[in-house]
Structure 1
């Protein structure tokens, strides 16, 4: 997929405003046909523009009020098998591969501190995991957000459009 154009960015911004908007509502808001919106959404989805469509839920509401981030150091040769084993642990909410001294950053949820200790022990028990360091999540100070990037992309798109018109 090439660069996002103004219509793509308008559509993404509308979805950022109301992620539950229907195709019809998006079409009305943007002054586009339903078919155009449907086609654009399909193209954006095939290009992996969208992340998971799973609704974000509060682990605390499900009985897991404690969240922690585990910095995991592994034996590199075992990384694919280790990530598969970590993905099988239900308390793991997300994991990111990193460059640098830490190999994986794993976010977990737990019922209490003993449960967190047990989750950490399961991760440490995976063959090839060398060590973990656990940090409790005290609160989310910046929620997941995309709007600042959309605004930057819109500015880049406008500059590119301006440059094409000047030629």
Structure 2
């Protein structure tokens, strides 16, 4: 996995058009302090400690920027980032064909999906996408929140392609 210093993370974000304001390093540290970004890995290198960020941090910055541009407050963004995610009926139907590959108790109707389940789901989605069995638009129907509404942040792939 790529790892970045705070300077490199800010440069990567800027290259993607993510607005971190006049002082990107301060913005990143502020987002960490209020819980929008998780803390970086800190590594002892000789006599100094270096903080390293990864692709997850960059992905979170994409989401934060996307929601800020939609006029969400930082408090609302934090709520969105910590929202529980569920599979819709369409999502459950999609993953059913892989039932023999997933552990018992995973992908249960009405239960939030964890990060490992989302990763597995996305892996299978990408495999099917490469075979032209699904479209990026279909992904938007697969994940819902507690109220049954589509999870908006999953549509971010359009604004910030990888």
TM-score, normalization by structure 1: 0.23
Between structure 1 and structure 2, the one with the greater Rg is 1
**Greater share of residues in strand:** 1
TM-score, normalization by structure 2: 0.24
